[in-house]
Structure 1
Amino acid sequence: MDATLIRAAQGGSEEAFARLVDRHQQALRGFLRRACGNWALADDLAQEALLTAWSRIDRLDEDANVRAWFCGIGYNKCLTELRSGRRARRREADYQSSDQRSPGVAPEDRLALEQAMAALPLEQRAVVALCLAAEFSHADAADALGLPLGTVKSHVTRGRARLMEALGARDDGR
């Protein structure tokens, strides 16, 4: 279905692009929220990523994974934002004021997990957010982030181990 929508969007159909956005924006926002650690910033970056995607739709192969493409654009936006530090104070204030509680997760575990995620290097955090939280395949995460498949697998393994350690749980490798 995405291939048909891609072709129509490449032909100038805003409605087709809007349908692609409807199908994949939640995955993009969820990924960016985990990767950035800030919901407000993630939503801003998602909007920027979708605007960029619309302007570059002609470059997309009709058989491409649209979700991975959106996430790749979003990841690049995230990297640019984090490197520039333009919104550092605002990000921190928004993060501190947001209620990011997950149902069924003890507050101390949630805090430990958030701290462990924040301690991961950005690239590793992005891979963990895609593969473990957003359930991307390793190949899709590699495509989205522009990383070699082996690097993605290494990041998942190391990231999972660090998160499990932070939670005081045993990592059985699953």
Structure 2
Amino acid sequence: MNRTRSERARDGSEAAFAALVAEHQQAVRQFLRRLATTPADADDLAQEAFVTAWARLDRLKPGVSFRTFVCGIAWRKAQNDRRRVRRAENRDGAWLSLRTTEETPSHETRLSLDKAMAALPLDMRAVISLCVAEDYSHAEAAEILGLPLGTVKSHIQRGRARLCQLLGVEP
């Protein structure tokens, strides 16, 4: 009995899945390039869609083409990405609308901040990025990073103090 590549991939054949990716990746990328903000975003979403498709091949129903299956996943990835971008734009727009022109950091200030952030330990930098820059709660950051809540709180406190010291500003 001749089995399709989709059936062989569903049974765990990496070679069959690789062939499906090779056959359909261009169509999925083209589809996502019409939806995503940049071609690079589209390529990232396509890669995520194929990774998800591999993990969820057991959900591919008989009679449904692999291209239809993976494009459905890609569509949901694009929708989620668009919501993420819209949330970030709204958050940034609201924050910037509260600031005066004098408060907007100069290019040099942003470079100094980037340099100061790079001097922090990676886990502290991640906590500060999530809680201060991305406006996640301490509990959400703890969940994302797999750290105890107390550690997140101490990283925020010590990280802010260290950043102020490195930037030469009062805490």
Could you say which TM-score interval applies, normalised by the shorter chain? 0.3 to 0.5
Q: Quick one: higher RCO (CA 8 Å, sep 6+), 1 or 2? A: 1
TM-score (norm 1): 0.46
Please give the TM-score of this superposition, normalised by the length of structure 2. 0.47
